[in-house]
Amino acid sequence: MMITINGSKKRLKSPATPNVPQTLEEVADLISGIGIDSRELTLMECEMNETISRIKEAYEQRADPIRLRIADAQRGVQGYCDAHRAVLTDHGKIKTYKFTSGEVCWRTRPPSVRITGQDAVLFSLQQMGLNRFVRLRIEINREAILNEPEAVARVPGIFISQIEDFVVTPFELELNGTSP
């Protein structure tokens, strides 16, 4: 494989293939080793996540009072600016006012449509002859193609692929008992 770093090409070599086991017992030992190593990785990930969780919780506790101060300050700024909006926006001619330490602005979000009871709304639109507000989606049915691949075998642009994965699953036993 070739990669380019700072304009010069470098060749990366693939790692050497490890020794391939020669007997069933050697394969069983390798699978057992994969299981042991996988469990060790899982324990490490649990320990890492627990440590990260403790650190995050400590910072969240420190951040909470700061967030409250920011929210209070924002409400205060908004209260002042709303009360003096006409002056700050030159009676609606501008939407942004720049203070010496920052700026405030009023922005109107684009309109949005919220629909509750989609089936009932769809039925009402159709009954009222408002079909221009109903969208019909035409798309290729991939599931049907997979069910009948021979029917579309000669259609240009349709390719059916299937990949085989090789999976090693070490046996693991779970402890019987009650959960905390």
pLDDT of residue 168: 83
Contact between residue 104 and residue 81 where contact means Cβ atoms under 8 Å apart: yes
* 180 residues of the chain, pLDDT tens digit each: 555 566 666 666 667 777 899 999 999 999 999 999 999 999 999 999 999 999 999 999 999 999 999 999 999 999 999 999 999 999 999 999 999 999 999 999 999 999 999 999 999 999 999 999 999 899 999 999 999 999 999 999 999 999 988 888 888 777 666 555
Whole-number Cα distances in Å, 139 to 103, 126, 136, 144, 171: 48, 22, 10, 12, 44
Q: CA–CA distance from 132 to each of 106, 126, 135, 136 (Å)?
A: 34, 9, 8, 10
Nearest Cα to Cα of residue 26 among 37, 18, 17: 18
